[in-house]
Each structure stands twice: as C-alpha cells, then as structure tokens.
Amino acid sequence: MSGKIERSIEELYADDPERADAVVFGRRADVNRRGFLGGAGLAAVGAAVGGAIPFSQNMPSGLIPGAFAQAQPASPAPAPAPAAPAAPKGPIYLNFPGKSDKLVVIGERPLVAETPESQLDDDTTPIDKFFIRNNGQIPEAAKEPDKWQIRIDGEVNKPLDITLGELKAKFKPVTQRMVLECGGNGRSFFTPQARGNQWTNGGVGCAEWTGARLVDVLKAVGVKPSAVFSGHYGADPHLSGEAGKVSLSRGVPMKKLMDPNNLIVWGMDGQPLPNIHGGPVRLLIPGWPGSLSAKWLTRIWIRDKEHDGPGMGQFSYRVAIKPMVPGDKADPKNFKDLESMPVRSIITNPADGTKLAAGTREVKLRGASWAGDHEVRQVDISTDYGATWQRASLSKPKNKYDWQRWTATVKLPSDGYYEIWTRATDTRGVAQPHVVGFWNPQGYGGNPMHRIRVLVG
Ligand SMILES: Nc1nc2c(c(=O)[nH]1)N[C@H]1C(S)=C(S)[C@@H](COP(=O)(O)O)O[C@H]1N2
Ligand SMILES: [Mo]
C-alpha cells in the first residue's frame, strides 16, 4: 500500500467517496479524461480486493469497486433524521416458520424480507425462498379457508359476495408461472437514498400461481361502462392496530384489470397459498408493482374514478414525468403512477463474492431476467467493466409474465479480481443502465445492471 494513503481505501470510500476516487484514479484538472486506475491507487485497490485487477484499465472512475460498495454506509436520507441507533454490521437473516434463513430482513415492523440474487437460482421460486412484503400486521391464518368471503361491488351489474369455496367450484382454475415484483425493487441503488425499504434486487420471485381468472369473475358480475378503475382491499390489520384503518389499498385502470393473466390466487407452487403470502386468497396482477396484488383479499371495488386508497397518489408508487434534481423537494403534479415494471436481469450463480481456484479460466453463469409487461429480447454479459459484451443464451417464457432464465460461459484471461456484469434489453430496445438515473423521492424504477465480484486464485 502506498504510504500516501493514511487510511485504508475501504475506510476512505466509506467516509469520502469523492476523495477516495481521486486517490485511486487520480484527477488532474489539465487532463480532460480522468486517469485510469494505475500506480499507487491500483496497488492499494488490488490489496483491498485481494488480487490483481486484470481489467483495471477499463474500470470507470466514479464507479466504486464492487468490493467496497457493500462496505459503504447508505448515503444520508434527504430529510433530517433523528439520531438513529448504529446500523448493525451484517445482514439480518430471516427467522420465520416455513421460510429460508437465507432471506434478508430489510424491515422488521412491518415484516419485509428480500431474497439474495444467488437464492433465486431455481426456475420456479420455491415458497420458502419467496420474498415477503407487508405494509401492516400479518393476520392470523384462516381456520376455514373455503369460507373466506370476497366481495366484488361498485360499478357492476350484479354485486357478488362469494366464498373461496364457491370461487374454486364455479370458475375454471388455471396455473401460470409469473413474476411478482415489489414496486420498490432496486431502491437501494438510488443516490441520494430514496425513502422506503432498501431493496437490492431481491424484491422479486417467480412462482406457479393457481387461481381463477379475474376477468372471468368480472364478466360474471358485469362491469358497467362507468367503470374506470379498481380498488383492492385485504384483511391485514393496520400497524397501529386501529380498527377499520386500511394498511394498503391500491387499484388499476380497467385496461390492466381486464388482462386475462390477472388471477385470484389460492395456490402457490402446488400448495395452498400460505398465510404469509396472502392465503387463503390474494390477487396477482403480474408485470405491475407488487402492491397491486392484494393479499388476504376481501374486496374488489370497481370505481367510476381513479382509486384513492392508502398507497395511491402523492409519491406512492409514482414516478416523475419530467426528471427532477435528485434529493430535491418534489411536486406531486410532476408524478404519475408506475405501471409496467422496468427491465432487469440478475446473476443467480455464482454468488457475489465467490472465490475460484487459481488457474480457473472459465466460469459458467446462470441468471434470470424479466421486464414487467414486456419480454426480454437479450441479455449481455461483461467481465471487463463494460468494454466488451457477450450475448447470453436466453430461454423463452413458459407463459406471459414468466421470467426468462439465461446461461453464459465467460472466459477469464488470468487470476485476479473480476466483476461480472449483466444487462438485459427488452423487446422495445430498452436496456438496464449502468447506474440508476431518474431519481424520485420513493425510489421506483431503479434497475441498474447487476454485478458480482469474483476472485480467481
Ligand atoms: N393486504 C395486503 N396486500 C399486499 C401488501 C400488504 O401490505 N397488504 N403488500 C403488497 C406489496 S407492496 C407487495 S410487493 C406484495 C408482496 O407479496 P408477498 O409478501 O407475497 O411477496 O404484496 C402486496 N399485497
Ligand atoms: Mo411492494
């Protein structure tokens, strides 16, 4: 390590990323382009990551090497926060009946847990690995699931009160593998930090859902021409415990509500829908923010205007129409509801931080990709900080809203420290960005490329 660096590079990045970058990459006013990683900086970073960096000449300045990114504390929230207790060092792992202890708790009250990318390596996400997102309390499991009551009312010809038992008997069940993704997935990648649960890429899962098509039920009740929007309600008590107070109630415009892929779900991966995932019955509105997929479903209200339940309006599940200055005060007039989720890809194998034996020159990769309402056209992989890209082999979705698994084999020219990046492009040609732009106060639409660190030797 260079004697000029008085602290470790890691500490420096944590305290003062700008200066750390200047130390590592060099920064000269008379040089247009910032210097590439070299000299003392290269030696220091190499020591910190535990190996030489074969593609260091491509490492963009301003990019905090992946090895340091995790050691970085979250950037300060825009609003002045009261003195909080020191954040725990490592992740907090989930301890919940029927769920994997590899899930990471990102909120304790309400309970929110995400699935690390490397735990999303199954074609179909098993129940125990499926992420959890609650806004209120977790209700007690229904004792008699088939007696669960659902009401469909509002702008319909024949309002309907139906039990789950009747729903199963009267409507043709279908099973589809579909992605459910939290609207805030990727939020932690925003700078400055956006308000809400700090998801990395793990607010997502792709399960086999069994249920009745929502559109079949809507046809049975007869939607009036005055219908413009839905409002969804669940039985979970508000965090405050206040009776009648709703935790979350969102809705969709009719064009999305009538999508034949929307299901009223009672089965997940061949099992009765577990209570933690909204059992005995929930909605599944694939492709759009997960918050629309009401758990513990009690009511679908067809409305003659845009729904206004908790979770609608202001900055909730809304993105800016025109770009805003990151961290600035926002104007609700500049916002619209987030509809289709953005394109995303993840590397599910190997896991981030994997060490490979010296002499390893080839790595087999596996991953997943999806793009809200759209299909993924291609997935590209880079091992040299984006200088060159290689096309992954991409599977077709089993049905609409299924994710697409991909595989690739990459060559590594020597021992050392690498970052492997994945970038998906949807059928419209929209690709994942290097870093997340388009800041918004609650951090929706953050879909930068996923990168893992791999050390050979
Ligand atoms: N009744 C109810 N439904 C809900 C929620 C909730 O808090 N209450 N959370 C929503 C959000 S924000 C998401 S991302 C998904 C998460 O579903 P999961 O916990 O089964 O993964 O459920 C949605 N449905
Ligand atoms: Mo969510």
Q: What is the pLDDT of residues 250-271, one digit of tens each?
A: 999 999 999 999 999 999 999 9
Same domain (yes/no): 362, 325: no
Same domain (yes/no): 154, 251: yes
Could you give phi then psi for residue 368, rounded to 5 degrees?
-135, 155
Same domain (yes/no): 196, 264: yes
Q: Which residue has the tokens 């993840």?
A: 346
Q: Is residue 254 part of a domain?
A: yes
Same domain (yes/no): 447, 362: yes
Q: Is residue 261 part of a domain?
A: yes
291 pLDDT above the threshold of 90: yes
Same domain (yes/no): 100, 207: yes
Please give the torsion angle defined by the CA atoms of residues 260, 187, 91 and 73, in that order, rounded to the nearest 10 degrees: 180
Confidence of residue 73 (pLDDT cuts 50, 70, 90): very low
33 pLDDT above the threshold of 90: no
Omega before 126 cis (within 30°)?
Answer: no
29 pLDDT above the threshold of 70: no
How many CB atoms are located within 10 Å of the residue 198 CB?
18
Sheet with 229-234, strands from edge to edge, namely 160-163, 149-154, 297-303, 229-234
Among 262, 284, 293, the mutation site with the greatest number of ligand 1 atoms within 8 A of its Cβ is 293
Ligand 1 close to Cβ of residue 444 (< 6 A): no
**Residue 82 to residues 76, 79, 88, Cα–Cα distance (Å):** 12, 10, 17
Domain boundary among 337, 362, 379: 337
Ligand 1 close to Cβ of residue 177 (< 6 A): no
Cα–Cα distance, 231 to 246 (Å, whole number) = 12
Q: Is residue 88 part of a domain?
A: no
Handedness of CA 301, 305, 307, 308 (dihedral sign): negative
What pLDDT does residue 26 have? 58
Cα–Cα distance, 372 to 179 (Å, whole number) = 8
Going by C-beta distance under 8 Å and a sequence separation of 6 or more, which residues neighbour residue 336?
Answer: 318, 319, 321
Ligand 1 close to Cβ of residue 383 (< 6 A): no
Q: Percent of the chain beyond pLDDT 90?
A: 79
Cα–Cα distance, 144 to 280 (Å, whole number) = 9
Q: Is residue 3 part of a domain?
A: no
Confidence of residue 28 (pLDDT cuts 50, 70, 90): very low
Same domain (yes/no): 149, 220: yes
**Residue 261 to residues 204, 287, 377, Cα–Cα distance (Å):** 18, 10, 21
Check: CB of residue 440 under 8 Å from CB of residue 338: no
**Residue 77 to residues 194, 240, 315, 370, 436, Cα–Cα distance (Å):** 7, 24, 16, 30, 17
DSSP track, 403-453: -EEEEEEEE-SSSEEEEEEEEEEETTS-B--SS--S--TT-----PPEEEE
The string of pLDDT tens digits covering residues 162-171 is: 999 999 999 9
Q: Which residue has the tokens 């770009």?
A: 323
Cα–Cα distance, 337 to 319 (Å, whole number) = 6
284: which strand partners? 263
Q: Is residue 243 part of a domain?
A: yes
Reference 346, options 114, 55, 9; nearest CA is 114
What pLDDT does residue 220 have? 98
Range of the domain at 231: 95-337
Cα–Cα distance, 5 to 40 (Å, whole number) = 9
Check: CB of residue 425 under 8 Å from CB of residue 380: yes
- The SS3 of residue 253 is strand
Check: CB of residue 222 under 8 Å from CB of residue 158: yes
Q: Is residue 86 part of a domain?
A: no
Instruction: Report CA Rg, the chain.
Output: 24
Same domain (yes/no): 378, 448: yes
CATH of the domain at 426: 2.60.40.650
DSSP track, 12-46: HHHH-HHHHHHHHH---TT-SSPPPS-HHHHHHHH
Same domain (yes/no): 321, 350: no
Among 103, 134, 275, 284, the mutation site with the greatest number of ligand 1 atoms within 8 A of its Cβ is 134
Mean pLDDT, the chain, as a whole number?
A: 90
Ligand 1 close to Cβ of residue 294 (< 6 A): yes
Mean pLDDT of 33-56: 75
The string of pLDDT tens digits covering residues 350-368 is: 999 999 999 999 999 999 9
Cα–Cα distance, 147 to 298 (Å, whole number) = 12
**Residue 152 to residues 42, 211, 323, Cα–Cα distance (Å):** 64, 16, 38
**Residue 451 to residues 66, 174, 391, Cα–Cα distance (Å):** 8, 36, 16
Confidence of residue 431 (pLDDT cuts 50, 70, 90): very high
Going from the Cα of 294 to the center of ligand 1, the distance in angstroms, rounded, reads 6
Cα–Cα distance, 91 to 408 (Å, whole number) = 29
Q: Taking the model in full, what pTM does it have?
A: 0.90
Pick the atom of ligand 1 nearest to 234's CA.
1
Domain boundary among 337, 363, 396: 337
Same domain (yes/no): 158, 286: yes
Among 94, 96, 275, 295, the mutation site with the greatest number of ligand 1 atoms within 8 A of its Cβ is 295
Going from the Cα of 92 to the center of ligand 1, the distance in angstroms, rounded, reads 21
Count of domains observed in the chain: 3
Pick the atom of ligand 1 nearest to 134's CA.
7
118 pLDDT above the threshold of 70: yes
Q: What's 237's DSSP letter?
A: B
What pLDDT does residue 275 have? 98
Q: Is residue 78 part of a domain?
A: no
Structure tokens, 436: 């997340």
The string of pLDDT tens digits covering residues 184-238 is: 999 999 999 999 999 999 999 999 999 999 999 999 999 999 999 999 999 999 9
Q: Is residue 1 part of a domain?
A: no
Task: State the ligand closest to the CA atom of 246.
Answer: 1
Ligand 1 close to Cβ of residue 114 (< 6 A): no
Ligand 1 close to Cβ of residue 115 (< 6 A): no
Going from the Cα of 131 to the center of ligand 2, the distance in angstroms, rounded, reads 10
What pLDDT does residue 80 have? 43
